[in-house]
Amino acid sequence: MITIEDAEEGLNTAIYNELRTRLVMGRMAPGHELSTRSIAAELGVSQTPVRDALSRLAAEGAVAIRSKRRVRVPPMTAERFEDLLRCRLLLEPEAAALAIPHLDDTHVRQLIELDAKLDAAIAGGDADAYMRSNHAFHFLLYRAQNRRTLVQLIETLWLQFGPFMRVLYSRAANSDMHENHHAAINAIKTRDPEAMRAAIAADITEGMGLIGRTGFTNENGPSV
């Protein structure tokens, strides 16, 4: 039998997952202020589960609580950018390399399909599709290995960087970042963990480098 406590926990989790997805997909811009009241009204719930979800996200560094009713997505600064870049380079190439023994031809086909969707999203100027496909590509790799704590740490990094990552899709068309995804796929085929580490490290460095070189302006204006 489902208890009231179970129902409340389920609702809290659903609200948390929804807000988490919005952050990871870049639908909440850095510096944007969120109102618990407006979010609750949009989602058709009371403010209590929204506040609970935002408290969890604040503990993960994804938002900053300014008052009981208002929360802010932290702005990106050069110092925070460099910190996130360093952490991503420490964790993500290793997770991808550790995944190689667990990846097979089915994974390779899925990765090729996701990379094609990335190309289509860039060509069509579809930021949502770009964010979804890029996230799916990376986490298909990371989640294939069985070290859950490592994946959770990477998820927290993406949660913090997601609000800013959306600017990449408008700058990726003129870059050669796609070659890094191809290199990662080839590393699976050749069972080469060092090549995988190099491919993912290059993907992170070049992708974040596009932002670092052109500044922290989010010209696409993602919204809540």
Can you give the residue ranges of every domain in the chain? 4-72, 78-214
Q: How far is CA 45 from CA 32, 48, 64, 119, 208, in A?
A: 21, 8, 22, 38, 37
Between CA 127 and CA 200 the distance in angstroms is 21
Q: What sign for the dihedral angle of Cα 198, 182, 184, 61?
A: positive
Q: What is the pLDDT of residue 222?
A: 37
Q: Which CATH superfamily is domain 78-214 in?
A: GntR ligand-binding domain-like (1.20.120.530)
Between CA 25 and CA 48 the distance in angstroms is 24
In degrees, rounded to 5, the angle at the alpha carbon of residue 152 between the alpha carbons of residues 173 and 178 is 15
Judge residue 52's burial from the number of C-beta atoms within 10 Å of its C-beta, 0-12 exposed, 13-18 middle, 19 or more buried: middle
Task: Give the chain's length.
Answer: 224
121: tokens are 């999203």
In degrees, rounded to 5, the angle at the alpha carbon of residue 35 between the alpha carbons of residues 31 and 37 is 170
Q: What is the pLDDT of residue 7?
A: 61
Q: What is the pLDDT of residue 1?
A: 47
- Tell me if 128 sits within 8 A of 25, measured CB to CB: yes
Q: Tell me how many helices (H) and strands (E) the chain has.
A: 10, 3
Q: What is the pLDDT of residue 223?
A: 35
Q: Under CATH, which architecture does the 4-72 domain have? A: Orthogonal Bundle (1.10)
Q: At what angle do helices 78-99 and 193-214 cross, to 10 degrees?
A: 160
Three-state secondary structure call for residue 23: helix
Which residues of the chain fall short of a pLDDT of 70? 1-8, 167-177, 210-224
- pLDDT tens column, 33-88: 989 999 999 999 999 999 999 999 999 999 999 887 789 999 888 898 899 999 99
Q: What is the pLDDT of residue 3?
A: 58
Q: What is the pLDDT of residue 66?
A: 86
117: tokens are 């969707």
Q: What is the pLDDT of residue 96?
A: 98
Give the amino acid at 32.
Answer: H
What global pTM score does this model have?
Answer: 0.86
Q: What is the pLDDT of residue 54?
A: 94
What residues does 35 pair with on adjacent strands? Answer: 70
Going by C-alpha positions, the residue among 144, 136, 55, 139 that lies closest to residue 98 is 144
